[in-house]
Amino acid sequence: MLGAAVVVVLGLAAWMLWRPAPPAPRPAVPVQARARAGKPSAKAQVGPADAVRLDALKASRDDPGQAGRNPFRFQPKAAPPPKITPRPIETETSRPAPPPGPTPPPPPPPIPLKFTGLLTRADGTKWAVLSDGKSAPMYGRDGDIIDGKYLIVKIGTESIDMSYVDGRGRQVIRLSGS
């Protein structure tokens, strides 16, 4: 271990002795001398007092206050629109609305039947097979009344149009197969 410590110390000493010397500092040219010359010289260096203007740091600044500046917006602040006082004009829209009338009756409930099948006779007559899920299947053609409440308006190949007997609540029921 002692040998390793000696090698490290000798290595540091050799590095310190043989490293290149740092370049000599050049004298700083004052800012006033450069200003008198007209053009800044390429060889002139800026001293620490020239790089940071200490007097500017000590000077007081105005309080920004409520300038309305938003640093996250890259557009100038929009001018407020000019205030226009509209003159009231008597039109149909400015008249008071009439009081609301009675509420219309609610729509009829949906028809609870399922279109489960289609039968076609040899003469081309289509019969719809309908089920309510509680009783035996019901059969009907175009214009027939089913279960005393529902009217078959039209039978298609994949759906059936039905309504209540009085014509309210027309509904399309798709062929469900179950």
In a domain, 123, yes or no: yes
Look at the chain and report how many structural domains it folds into.
Answer: 1
Q: Residue 159: which residues within 8 A CB-CB, separation 6 or more? A: 115, 172, 173, 174, 175
In a domain, 134, yes or no: yes
In a domain, 4, yes or no: no
Residue 162's DSSP bridge partners are: 152, 171
Total residues belonging to the chain: 178
| Residue pLDDT, tens place only, 40-86 | 444 445 555 556 777 777 777 766 665 666 667 676 667 788 888 87
The residue range of the domain holding 138 is 114-174
**Who has greater pLDDT, 160 or 75?**
160
Instruction: Tell whether pTM > 0.75.
Output: no
In a domain, 89, yes or no: no
Run of H or E including 35:
helix 31-37
In a domain, 147, yes or no: yes
In a domain, 85, yes or no: no
In a domain, 91, yes or no: no
In a domain, 1, yes or no: no
